C-alpha cells in the first residue's frame, strides 16, 4: 500500500506534545496523519481537506470540540468523529455521541483503545460510502421509470395494494398490474421486496 492509499486521520488537538506522540503512533500503525492545532484552523481548511477520520480533542482554546463538531454537522461534513475527552468526563462524551460522534476515547488513552476507535471510525466511513453508492445506483434505476410507473412504485412504498393504487390513481387494477410489471422489468427485479429495497435505497418513503 502506497502512502496515498493509507487511511487518513485528522488530529485536532491544541497540545503539541499529544499531536506529536499520537501522530507518531498512528503512522506506525499504518495511517496517514494531518495535524491541526485548533478547531478554528481545522474548520478554515475543511473544504480543501481530504476525507478521513477526525480525532477531535474537546478541551481547546477559542473553540472547544463540541462547538467544532456542531460546526461540522452544520456544514454537512460526514467524516466520522472520535472525541478525546478528559478522564471521567462522561457528560461531554454523551453530548458528543448524541451529536453523531462515532466514539470517544478518554485521556490518557491506551494505544489499543485509540486504534480500535479509529478502526470503527473508518468502518463507519466505508458504510457511508457504500450507502452513497447504493443510493446513486438506485436513483439511476428509478430514472428509467415513466411517471405512471413511478406512481405505482410510490403506492407500493406507501403499502398500498394494487386495488388501493388503482383507486388512488383512478385507473383499473389491470392497468396497475401492467404498469407494475413494466416497472419491475425496468428495475431488473422479479419480486416486490427487491423493488422496495431499490426504492428505499433511493430515499423513497424516508419521511413517512
Average pLDDT, the chain: 91
Q: Please indicate, yes or no, whether residues 93 and 27 belong to a single structural domain of this protein.
A: yes
Q: Please indicate, yes or no, whether residues 45 and 125 belong to a single structural domain of this protein.
A: yes
Q: Please indicate, yes or no, whether residues 28 and 131 belong to a single structural domain of this protein.
A: yes
DSSP class of residue 116 equals H
Residue that is last in its domain, among 111, 135, 159 = 135
CB 83: neighbour CB atoms within 10 A? 27
Write out pLDDT tens, residues 6-21. Answer: 999 999 999 999 999 9
- The string over 127-162, giving b where at least 16 C-beta atoms fall within 10 Å of a residue's C-beta and e elsewhere, is eeeeeeeeeeebeebbeebeebbbbbbbbbbeebeb
The pLDDT, as a whole number, for residue 133 is 81
Peptide bond into 3 cis (omega under 30): no
The pLDDT, as a whole number, for residue 87 is 66
Residue that wins the pLDDT comparison between 32 and 193: 32
Region 56-74: mean pLDDT is: 93
Is residue 206 included in any domain, yes or no? no
Give the separation between CA 163 and CA 3, rounded to whole angstroms.
59
Q: Please indicate, yes or no, whether residues 84 and 127 belong to a single structural domain of this protein.
A: yes
Q: Please indicate, yes or no, whether residues 49 and 120 belong to a single structural domain of this protein.
A: yes
Q: Please indicate, yes or no, whether residues 105 and 165 belong to a single structural domain of this protein.
A: no
Q: Please indicate, yes or no, whether residues 115 and 150 belong to a single structural domain of this protein.
A: no
Residue that is last in its domain, among 83, 106, 135 = 135
Q: Please indicate, yes or no, whether residues 19 and 84 belong to a single structural domain of this protein.
A: yes
Name the burial class of residue 22, with classes exposed (0-12), middle (13-18) and buried (19+) by CB atoms within 10 angstroms of its CB.
Answer: buried
Is residue 53 included in any domain, yes or no? yes
Q: Please indicate, yes or no, whether residues 155 and 130 belong to a single structural domain of this protein.
A: no
Q: Please indicate, yes or no, whether residues 155 and 128 belong to a single structural domain of this protein.
A: no
Is residue 128 included in any domain, yes or no? yes
Give yes or no for a contact between 34 and 21, defined as CB atoms under 8 angstroms apart.
no
**What is the span of the domain harbouring residue 188?**
144-201
Judged by phi (left if over 0) then psi (alpha if -120 to 50, else beta), residue 159 lies in left
CATH number of the domain to which 181 belongs: 1.10.10.10
Q: What is the CA radius of gyration of the chain?
A: 23
Write out pLDDT tens, residues 87-137. Answer: 667 788 888 988 889 989 988 888 999 999 999 999 988 888 887 888 899
Give yes or no for a contact between 65 and 107, defined as CB atoms under 8 angstroms apart.
no
Residue that is last in its domain, among 114, 135, 156 = 135
Is residue 208 included in any domain, yes or no? no
User: Does the pLDDT at position 208 exceed 80?
Assistant: no
The pTM for the full model equals 0.68
Structural domains of the chain, count: 2
Amino acid at each position: 500500500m502506497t502512502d496515498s492509499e493509507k487511511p487518513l486521520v485528522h488530529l485536532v488537538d491544541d497540545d503539541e506534545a499529544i499531536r506529536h506522540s499520537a501522530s507518531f503512533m498512528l503512522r506506525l500503525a499504518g495511517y496517514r496523519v494531518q495535524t491541526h492545532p485548533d478547531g478554528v484552523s481545522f474548520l478554515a481548511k475543511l473544504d480543501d481537506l481530504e476525507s478521513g477520520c477526525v480525532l477531535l480533542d474537546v478541551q481547546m482554546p477559542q473553540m472547544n470540540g463540541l462547538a467544532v463538531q456542531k460546526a461540522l454537522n452544520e456544514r454537512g461534513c460526514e467524516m466520522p468523529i472520535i472525541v478525546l475527552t478528559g478522564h471521567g468526563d462522561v457528560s461531554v462524551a454523551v453530548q458528543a455521541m448524541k451529536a453523531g460522534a462515532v466514539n470517544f476515547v478518554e485521556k490518557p488513552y491506551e494505544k489499543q483503545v485509540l486504534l480500535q476507535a479509529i478502526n470503527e471510525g473508518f468502518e463507519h466511513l466505508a458504510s457511508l460510502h457504500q450507502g452513497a453508492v447504493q443510493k446513486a445506483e438506485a436513483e439511476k434505476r428509478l430514472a428509467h421509470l415513466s411517471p405512471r410507473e413511478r406512481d405505482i412504485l410510490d403506492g407500493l412504498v406507501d403499502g398500498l395494494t394494487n386495488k388501493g393504487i388503482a383507486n388512488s390513481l383512478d385507473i383499473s387494477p389491470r392497468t396497475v398490474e401492467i404498469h407494475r410489471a413494466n416497472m419491475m422489468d425496468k428495475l431488473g427485479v422479479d419480486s416486490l421486496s427487491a423493488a422496495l429495497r431499490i426504492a428505499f435505497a433511493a430515499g423513497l418513503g424516508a419521511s413517512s
